[in-house]
Amino acid sequence: MIGGRKLVLSVALVAWAGAAAQAQARVTQQSKELETRATLEQELKAAEQHNRTGEAFLLRNRLEHGDFQDGDRIVVQLLGSIPYNDTITVRAGKMLPLPRMDDLPLEGVLRSELNDALSHHLARYLRDSTARATPMLRVAVLGQVGRPGFYYTPADVLLSDVLMQAGGPAGDANLNGMTIRRAGETIWNAEDTRTAVTDGLSLDRLHLRAGDEIYVPQNSHFNWTSLLQIGSIAISALVAIVTLSRR
């Protein structure tokens, strides 16, 4: 019985890994880029037309409030006469502190708009410098994985890659039941999350933000031992009742 369960799990892991590898091969450079405002507006229109209310909510939230949250990390590299390379944490109020400059407000800014926003901000202080910024997304990978916890990862990384960063699925993982949650609420159900892995979607294309949770549940197994124990207790109680009734 145990050997058969291990065989089924091995087959499932191989199938999942194969699907993830195929998805990785299908993903082009364009699909891995951060989504623009125009793209998100088109996706919102399509979601509303097809009554995908959950996805529409995520899209409207991104378009209105932007992608950044307090505590996010951004790798900033300045190119030019004043070289600079550092990882900066977004402060309260979605403000990005920069050395010897005013803070850069990030309310309403998308990840795809960050480089332009940063370059325009720098132009107020520096003439011959350009900027390159890489937004890092802090997400939790919980449940049946090798190393559950929070991870900082580039926003354009694939969902399947984040799972492997957390040590990959554990021996009793139910990959088909994987979901994505925000503040205790499921924002991508098991079917949608499975499709995201198969299609090679990135965290950005899933509209994730800091603090979101990728949850891998445990395979459910029928506990025959507990059932037999309960049955034995019930039979003993029934025998005792019958014996007392005959006295």
Q: What is the three-state SS of 183-213?
A: CCEEEECHHHHHHHHHHCCECCCCCCCCCCE
Q: Which residue has the higher pLDDT, 19 or 125?
A: 125
In degrees and rounded to multiples of 5, residue 138 shows phi and psi of -95, 110
**pLDDT score recorded for residue 7:** 43
Tell how far CA 201 is from the center of its chain. 10
Residue 80 belongs to a domain: yes
In degrees and rounded to multiples of 5, residue 179 shows phi and psi of -130, 170
Mean model confidence pLDDT for the chain: 82
Q: How many domains are contained in the chain?
A: 1
Q: Where are the beta strands (DSSP E) in 59-129?
A: 73-79, 84-89, 95-96, 104-105
Rounded to 5°, angle at Cα 215 from 225 and 73: 150
Which tens digits make up the pLDDT trace of 80-129? 767 788 999 999 999 999 888 899 999 999 999 999 999 899 888 887 77
Residue 70 belongs to a domain: yes
Residue 245 belongs to a domain: no
Residue 246 belongs to a domain: no
**pLDDT score recorded for residue 22:** 44
Structural domain that includes position 212: 2-216
Residue 97 belongs to a domain: yes
Radius of gyration of the chain measured on its C-alpha atoms: 25
Residue 95 belongs to a domain: yes
Model confidence at 245: pLDDT above 90? no
Of all residues in the chain, the percent with pLDDT exceeding 70 is 75
pTM for this model (two decimals): 0.72
Any idea what DSSP says for residue 217?
P
Q: Are 18 and 88 in contact (CB under 8 A)?
A: no
Residue 235 belongs to a domain: no
**pLDDT score recorded for residue 104:** 96
Residue 239 belongs to a domain: no
**Of 123, 79, 77, which Cα lies nearest the Cα of 102?**
123
**Most confident among 118-122, 139-143, 228-232 (mean pLDDT):** 139-143
